[in-house]
Amino acid sequence: MNEKEGIDFKSYYIAVFSSNYFFQGVTSSVFAVIIPIYLIQIVGGITASEIAFIASIILIPWILKVFFAILSDRYGTKKLGRRKPYVLIPMIFAGLIWLILSAPNIANSDNIIFVFVTAGVLINLGIAIADTALDGLIIDICPKKQLGRTQGFCWGLNSVGAIIGGPMLAFLLVSIKAITVQIVFIIVGISMIATSLFILFIKEKDVFHEVMIKDHLKEMFNNKRDWLGYFYSMLRSLYDGVIVLLISIIVLIKIGVLKSEGVTLSIEGSDMNVYLYQANVSIIISIGIIVGALIGGQIADLKSRKLSVFFSILITLTSLILLILEYSFIPLLLFIASLSGVALGWRRAVAAAVIGELSKKHPEMDSTHFSISMAFANIGAIIGLLFTGIILNLTQDYSISFIYLAFTSLLVLIPFMLLKPKDYELRFIDK
């Protein structure tokens, strides 16, 4: 039972939450694994910078996550409750956009960029709103003794969807002739709509305390510590989108699956195996992300969060520079690609620990503070993709671009070193 409101927290609630998080992860995986190759096939030739620009634009709704949090905190409906409308309606909306994308002749070589940018923004808008409301709903109704396990399981399923969703759908695309890219869109759309409907079985609290939004938000923006935390979040995520998207592209170029003239990409013929290669590379990078998250989190909690941040930056710098080299031994190239995934997972794990401690300084609205930090992280991911696209366009050279990425990854040290260790290191906090 919920300690304050007497809600009977059913075990199947976790399945409802986690299934929604899972298909949120699948969507991000489809945009990273399947859609870039599909665009190249339809257009016939597309630059990596154009793909980066598209990815940066469709992530814009995630910048607004904090506003969605405030919206679901303050407004709801008598019939559905406070959180459920913001899960159900946006997820159904996002699923319908996937179904629209599956329509015959919806996109051709002339309009496909516009179609997928527009659809990507709308889909991510729906998912970002639902994700924010789900976070709040779990905090609202889950008993304290189950909160950690529930959130851990849900975010674990989200990671599983992000890691294997696109690759598994790519395997189906290659191995079953009857399945087309449009059918993949239908599968994702129907799954999102179906899982969102289960949220109707969740019972919300009937009574809520008044949230002093103005006063508490003001506290989050009138001190140096929080601003340093926000800038740390933004700069540490500059290359999250780049690693997920562009690392796999450069690997496919080096093994000869994709052809590159300057930074313009193309595929010879209509070989569907390119999806299989993309899936395999994405899985290898994703395994690295999991390993990095596990190791980075352990070092952050058991040894030192500062030390863990330094290691994550070192691995990021090393992996990005090594990727510009030529490799005749393909397994070594794939190992370097997985190392870039380790760097990403490590950065995320230690950032969650650091930002989590800063959020605890605002116990009245700690989830809102965390959402603000994540909004800055999403801004960083968009900026990283945007500037990477600009550098690729200006230089027409992947090697120069990756050197640029490697050394600008050091920028995160500026806000982090200005933070006081007593605000994020466990040994000081415990004392």
The full set of domains in the chain, from first to last, is 1-207 (1.20.1250.20), 210-431 (1.20.1250.20)
Structure confidence at residue 227 (pLDDT): 95
**DSSP alpha helix (H) spans, 210-329:** 213-220, 224-236, 240-254, 273-302, 305-322
**CA-CA-CA-CA dihedral for 388, 392, 395, 399, to nearest 10:** 80
Please state the rounded mean pLDDT for residues 371-400: 83
Picking from 149, 150, 145, the residue whose alpha carbon sits closest to that of residue 14 is 150
Q: Is the pTM of this model over 0.75?
A: no
- 261 has which bridge partners? 264
Whether the Cβ atoms of residue 121 and residue 64 lie closer than 8 Å to each other: no
Q: Please report which confidence band the pLDDT of residue 364 belongs to, taking 50, 70 and 90 as the band edges.
A: low
For residue 307 the two structure tokens come to 């030390």
Q: Amino acid letter at 211?
A: V
Structure confidence at residue 146 (pLDDT): 62
Q: Please report which confidence band the pLDDT of residue 1 belongs to, taking 50, 70 and 90 as the band edges.
A: very low
Tell me, what DSSP letter sits at residue 205? P
* Alpha carbon distance 183, 140 (integer Å): 37
* Alpha carbon distance 294, 299 (integer Å): 9
Please state the rounded mean pLDDT for residues 223-231: 94
Q: How confident is the model over 286-325, as pLDDT tens digits?
A: 788 778 877 887 787 778 889 989 999 999 999 989 988 8
For residue 123 the two structure tokens come to 């889909």
Please state the rounded mean pLDDT for residues 72-98: 84
The answer for residues whose C-beta is within 8 angstroms of residue 242's C-beta and 6 or more apart is 52, 384, 385, 388, 405
Average pLDDT taken over every residue of the chain: 81
Please state the rounded mean pLDDT for residues 205-219: 70
Please state the rounded mean pLDDT for residues 165-181: 81
Q: Cβ–Cβ contacts within 10 Å for residue 257, how many?
A: 19
Three-class DSSP category at 376: helix
Q: Among all chains, which residue has been given the structure tokens 């313009």?
A: 264
CA distances from 39 to 33, 271, 272 (A): 11, 14, 13
Q: Please report which confidence band the pLDDT of residue 121 belongs to, taking 50, 70 and 90 as the band edges.
A: very high
Three-class DSSP category at 239: coil
pLDDT over 70 for what percent of the chain?
A: 86
Whether the Cβ atoms of residue 316 and residue 409 lie closer than 8 Å to each other: yes
Q: Among all chains, which residue has been given the structure tokens 């527009």?
A: 118
Q: Amino acid letter at 134?
A: L
Structure confidence at residue 330 (pLDDT): 85
For residue 71 the two structure tokens come to 């919206």
Higher pLDDT, 284 or 77: 284
**∠ CA 318-263-31 to the nearest 5 degrees?**
75
The answer for residues whose C-beta is within 8 angstroms of residue 287's C-beta and 6 or more apart is 163, 338, 341
Tell me, what DSSP letter sits at residue 268? S
Q: Amino acid letter at 256?
A: G
The alpha carbon of 98 is separated from its chain's Cα centroid by a whole number of angstroms, namely 19
pLDDT at 228 over 90: yes
Structure confidence at residue 231 (pLDDT): 95
Q: Rank 15-24, 163-172, 227-236, 241-250 by mean pLDDT and report only the highest.
A: 227-236
Structure confidence at residue 152 (pLDDT): 53
Q: How confident is the model over 232-272, as pLDDT tens digits?
A: 999 988 877 676 667 878 888 888 877 777 667 777 655 56
Structure confidence at residue 77 (pLDDT): 72
pLDDT over 90 for what percent of the chain?
A: 18
For residue 288 the two structure tokens come to 């690295």
Structure confidence at residue 49 (pLDDT): 72
Picking from 300, 249, 305, the residue whose alpha carbon sits closest to that of residue 277 is 249
Ramachandran quadrant class, 76 (left: phi over 0; alpha: psi -120 to 50; beta: rest): beta
Structure confidence at residue 266 (pLDDT): 73
Higher pLDDT, 345 or 315: 315
The alpha carbon of 297 is separated from its chain's Cα centroid by a whole number of angstroms, namely 18
* Alpha carbon distance 173, 400 (integer Å): 35
Whether the Cβ atoms of residue 203 and residue 346 lie closer than 8 Å to each other: no
Structure confidence at residue 17 (pLDDT): 86
* Alpha carbon distance 385, 244 (integer Å): 11
